[in-house]
């Protein structure tokens, strides 16, 4: 702690309770008595500047209710912090971070900034911990990737190495391969309609830069994945949501939203939506495309999970149902079917829009890594084959996860998804954000529904990826069952305000 004291500005906004509790981080996963672990979590938040001088922290009884702890544990933790001079309590003012506290850095630096998904990125930076995180569903690489790498290394790379290596729009061979792949799905595509990106996340960022600015409106499904929606909020856009049912987004609600305030961009995940796993029907895709075309509102469809097919047929991309002249962009990547570490994605759209996105791509990084693109160009023609080889493994893991849940947590309910990588589980009469705190103490980080839907309609849901190995799934459900037993034994939380939202979600 090397900087001068920074008293809180009188006009500084108070952080809400949910963000204060989030700032404690993974306090429950340490060792030693609970009160000491909690005190250490609060201390780190204060010293890192996440909780600045003067910030109010929850009262002892309130924090105990939010974290499902005994009040004695919270009292003991606060006593440790008071003795260290980190917090102070005054009648009528509550408990606050002490005014003279020194922080490691300016409070504007803090931890990773962001909205609902801020701790997602912090989890990636911090690296693995003792906790099993359910914030991401990425799997290891397919064996075909290593084979493609060996073939590439054994070939003649001189032609590639002789040229500068700048391809802002993408390596021509890869753009051609993506165009052929998309054409094979039923969406005729030319290389000029394809922009290669560094993962599908960059595609979302580039599209947001093109269509959104301060005061814009983006329309999305609810629930939705906070990592994606925060991209649009970061542009200063207001995110308006519409509900989703078993057939996809509610078109009547979309039409009402279009009439009330014409959105600048519609963001949808029609194929195995994250987190619900819903597969938007062909008729619903057609209705959405026609509605957006009629109102001249562009659509970005995120196909991150398109390769995670289960049983039955999958409709074509939403863009394939769009009338002529409609502005529909389709984002995809190899992350979920090949390997998340192969940071290759793409966005397909009208060639004039792709050209404008390419200029922003050039500003961002001058082009994605060439070797990665060369690998991807080798793998694209085999994508359907790779997908077919992985699907039985996913089906086995899904069946294993469902069997474990039925045996150990029979009061939980879910709808078996047609594809994707996770179960959207409903907890009986329970706020999943409250359960998240107890689960973390048992070594599992969950994604509570509250961070996916600001309306509160999905507060009693959580997302559980089933792509882990059977051994890891065994451990996940064992820990969750232990956490649920403790949670239900304590009974409903009695508190004055809403509990914090718990750990945030992770990369998709």
Q: How confident is the model at residue 22 (pLDDT cuts 50, 70, 90)?
A: confident
The answer to whether residue 2 sits within a structural domain is no
Contact by Cβ (8 Å): 207, 300:
yes
Q: What is the pLDDT of residues 174-187, one digit of tens each?
A: 999 999 999 999 99
Residue 86 and residue 126 in one domain: no
Residue at a domain's end among 365, 383, 401? 383
Alpha-helical segments (H) within 49-126: 60-67, 71-83, 118-126
Residue 255 and residue 363 in one domain: yes
Residue 37 and residue 122 in one domain: no
Distance of alpha carbon 476 from the chain centroid: 20
Give me the domain span that covers residue 34.
Answer: 17-97
Q: What is the pLDDT of residues 415-434, one digit of tens each?
A: 999 888 999 999 999 999 99
The answer to whether residue 500 sits within a structural domain is no
Residue at a domain's end among 315, 349, 383? 383
Q: Is the pLDDT of residue 164 over 50?
A: yes
Q: Please tell me the distance from the alpha carbon of residue 156 to that of residue 231, in angstroms, as a whole number.
A: 40
Q: Please tell me the distance from the alpha carbon of residue 494 to that of residue 231, in angstroms, as a whole number.
A: 35
Domain with residue 65: its CATH number is 1.10.10.10
The pLDDT assigned to 200 comes to: 93
Per DSSP, 247 falls in state T
The pLDDT assigned to 497 comes to: 37
Residue at a domain's end among 325, 350, 383? 383
Residue 329 and residue 393 in one domain: no
Q: What percent of the chain has pLDDT over 90?
A: 69
Q: Is the pLDDT of residue 13 over 80?
A: no
The answer to whether residue 498 sits within a structural domain is no
Residue 147 and residue 129 in one domain: no
Burial class (CB in 10 A: 0-12, 13-18, 19+), 176: middle
Omega of the bond prior to 275 within 30 degrees of 0, cis?
yes
The pLDDT assigned to 144 comes to: 95
Q: Among 45-49, 305-309, 344-348, 441-445, which is the least confidently predicted range?
A: 305-309
The pLDDT assigned to 419 comes to: 86
Q: Is 241 in a helix, a strand, or coil?
A: strand
Residue 287 and residue 430 in one domain: no
Task: Tell me how many domains the chain contains.
Answer: 3
Residue 353 and residue 392 in one domain: no
Task: Give the pLDDT mean for 386-414.
Answer: 95
The answer to whether residue 111 sits within a structural domain is no
The pLDDT assigned to 498 comes to: 37
Residue 186 and residue 290 in one domain: yes
Contacts of 485 (CB under 8 A, 6+ apart): none
Q: Please tell me the distance from the alpha carbon of residue 66 to that of residue 63, in angstroms, as a whole number.
A: 5
Residue 401 and residue 361 in one domain: no
Domain with residue 282: its CATH number is 3.40.640.10
Which pairs count as long-range contacts for 428-431, CB under 8 Å and 24+ apart, including other chains?
428/460, 429/460, 430/460, 430/487, 431/459, 431/460, 431/493, 431/499
* Crossing angle of helices 432-441 and 470-490, rounded to 10°: 110
Contact by Cβ (8 Å): 240, 261:
yes
Per DSSP, 89 falls in state E
Contacts of 457 (CB under 8 A, 6+ apart): 222, 223, 243
Contact by Cβ (8 Å): 125, 495:
no
The pLDDT assigned to 26 comes to: 79
Task: Give the pLDDT mean for 66-88.
Answer: 92
The answer to whether residue 103 sits within a structural domain is no
The pLDDT assigned to 319 comes to: 97
Q: What is the pLDDT of residues 310-332, one digit of tens each?
A: 556 789 999 999 999 899 999 99
Q: What is the pLDDT of residues 451-467, one digit of tens each?
A: 999 889 999 999 999 99
The answer to whether residue 370 sits within a structural domain is yes
The pLDDT assigned to 125 comes to: 52
Domain with residue 470: its CATH number is 3.90.1150.10
Q: Is the pLDDT of residue 8 over 60?
A: no
Residue 193 and residue 306 in one domain: yes
Q: Which range has highest mean pLDDT (64-73, 90-99, 168-177, 305-314)? A: 168-177
Q: Is the pLDDT of residue 479 over 60?
A: yes
Residue 134 and residue 281 in one domain: no
The pLDDT assigned to 159 comes to: 76
The answer to whether residue 356 sits within a structural domain is yes
The answer to whether residue 10 sits within a structural domain is no
The pLDDT assigned to 93 comes to: 76
The pLDDT assigned to 29 comes to: 78
pTM value surpassing 0.75? yes
Q: How confident is the model at residue 119 (pLDDT cuts 50, 70, 90)?
A: low
Residue 122 and residue 87 in one domain: no
């Amino acid at each position: 702690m090397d900087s001068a004291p920074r008293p809180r500005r009188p006009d500084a906004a108070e952080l809400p309770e949910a963000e204060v509790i989030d700032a404690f981080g993974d306090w429950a996963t340490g060792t030693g008595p609970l009160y000491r672990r909690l005190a250490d979590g609060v201390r780190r938040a204060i010293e890192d500047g996440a909780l600045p001088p003067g910030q109010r922290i929850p009262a002892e009884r309130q924090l105990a209710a939010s974290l499902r702890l005994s009040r004695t544990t919270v009292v003991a933790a606060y006593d440790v912090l008071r003795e260290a001079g980190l917090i102070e309590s005054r009648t009528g003012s509550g408990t606050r971070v002490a005014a003279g506290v020194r922080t490691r850095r300016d409070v504007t630096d803090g931890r990773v900034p962001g909205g609902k998904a801020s701790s997602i990125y912090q989890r990636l930076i911090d690296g693995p911990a003792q906790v099993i995180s359910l914030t991401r569903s990425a799997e290891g690489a397919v064996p075909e990737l290593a084979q493609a790498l060996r073939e590439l290394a054994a070939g003649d790379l001189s032609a590639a190495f002789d040229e500068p290596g700048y391809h802002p729009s993408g390596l021509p061979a890869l753009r051609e391969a993506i165009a052929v792949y998309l054409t094979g799905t039923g969406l005729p595509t030319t290389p000029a309609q394809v922009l290669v990106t560094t993962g599908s996340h960059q595609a979302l960022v580039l599209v947001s830069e093109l269509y959104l600015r301060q005061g814009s409106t983006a329309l999305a499904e609810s629930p939705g994945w906070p990592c994606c929606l925060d991209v649009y909020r970061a542009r200063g856009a207001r995110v308006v949501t519409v509900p989703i049912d078993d057939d996809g987004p509610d078109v009547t609600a979309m039409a009402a939203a279009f009439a009330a305030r014409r959105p600048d961009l519609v963001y949808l995940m029609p194929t195995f939506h994250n987190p619900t796993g819903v597969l938007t029907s062909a008729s619903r895709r057609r209705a959405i495309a026609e509605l957006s075309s009629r109102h001249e509102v562009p659509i970005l469809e995120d196909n991150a999970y398109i390769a995670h097919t289960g049983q039955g047929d999958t409709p074509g991309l939403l863009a394939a149902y769009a009338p002529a002249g409609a502005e529909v962009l389709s984002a995809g990547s190899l992350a979920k079917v090949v390997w998340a570490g192969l940071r290759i994605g793409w966005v397909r759209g009208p060639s004039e829009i792709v050209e404008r996105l390419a200029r922003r791509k050039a500003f961002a990084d001058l082009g994605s890594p060439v070797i990665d693109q060369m690998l991807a160009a080798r793998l694209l023609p085999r994508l359907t084959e790779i997908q077919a080889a992985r699907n039985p493994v996913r089906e086995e893991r899904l069946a294993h996860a469902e069997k474990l849940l039925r045996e150990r947590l029979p009061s939980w309910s879910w709808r078996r998804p047609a594809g994707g990588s996770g179960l959207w589980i409903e907890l009986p009469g329970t706020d999943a954000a409250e359960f998240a705190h107890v689960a973390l103490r048992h070594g599992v980080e969950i994604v509570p529904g509250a961070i996916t839907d600001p309306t509160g309609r999905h507060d009693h849901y959580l997302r559980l990826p089933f792509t882990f190995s059977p051994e890891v799934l065994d451990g996940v459900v064992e820990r969750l069952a232990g956490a649920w037993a403790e949670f239900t034994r304590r009974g409903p939380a009695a508190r004055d305000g809403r509990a914090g939202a718990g750990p945030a979600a992770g990369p998709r």
